[in-house]
Amino acid sequence: MDSFLVGLIGAGIGPSWSPPLHEQEAVHHGLHYVYRLLDTDRVGGDVGELVRTARRFGYDGLNITHPCKQAVIPHLDELSPDARMLGAVNTVVFDGERAIGHNTDWTGFAESFARGLPDAPTRRIVQLGAGGAGAAVAHALLTMGADRITLVDADPARAAALAGELAGRFGAGRARPAGAAELPELLARADGLVHATPTGMAHHPGLPLPAELLHPGLWVADIVYRPLETELLKHARAAGCRTLDGGGMVVFQAVHAFRLFTGREPDAERMFAHLTDLIAV
């Protein structure tokens, strides 16, 4: 029986669904598969130290989540083209002596969006968050044909930097930064709102924007998945918005990571069914 040891590095990751999603899928492939949580809030150490320790102890790979997706890059030997382009890593594969960083967030979000909001208009999108996950999500939306994305981040310089990268990649005018004070005007004219910040996670409860800015003409996508029903999505549904939770992104990201770790082809629909079981517990 083939054996795999993988882990997840991030902060406040105790509630993560990644271990059961991976381990249950591995059962169907006849694999001995162990998935460990390396929570920086509990084990201490920086992401580089954890990557080196995992390599030393024989891990086959790692998933990387908030707040380590960009901080991990200097500690890797190589980046996939997607990870290099996006400047963020959410999956690390140990290949012999080399630690190779990949980004499966953007493809995971793209597949989730196509599955959950297949006919949603994407002329004007407002995105909250321009960090590692935000870079992946914005890239996915523009790759899928969104006309224009406006980026709002707590760090205006980060939003401006990401907008510049996206404009360079997709063309002038496709992405621009904006301040939080512009949200009322932006959302009044927007087709959709994407939330890509930690707000709403178990360790960061709350709303990322005033609920009164939500309206029925807006679809709302949240990449937070623990809890799956975030405060933002609750208020969005109450306002009459179409919504997309973070479950699809986490499943498709897990599909791609499982393939990278094992070389086996996972069954996405089976993993969605397992996610449904996890939610019901």
DSSP H or E stretch at residue 6: strand 3-10
Which residues have a Cβ under 8 Å from the Cβ of 74 and sit 6 or more positions away? 48
User: Mean pLDDT in the chain?
Assistant: 95
| Residues that are catalytic | 69
Give the residue, 225 or 170, on which the prediction is more confident. Answer: 170
- The radius of gyration computed from the CA coordinates of the chain, to the nearest angstrom, equals 18
Task: Yes or no: say if 20 and 51 are a contact pair by the CB < 8 Å rule.
Answer: no
* pLDDT given at position 225: 85
Render pLDDT for 236-248 as a digit per residue (tens, 0 to 9). 999 999 999 999 9
Percent of the chain clearing pLDDT 90 (strictly above):
88
Rounded to whole angstroms, the Cα distance separating 247 from 226 reads 9
Residue range 109-120: average pLDDT?
A: 96
The DSSP secondary-structure symbol of 206 reads: S
* Length of the chain (residues): 281
Express each pLDDT in 234-279 by its tens digit: 999 999 999 999 999 999 999 999 999 999 999 999 999 999 999 8
Predicted pLDDT of residue 227 = 85
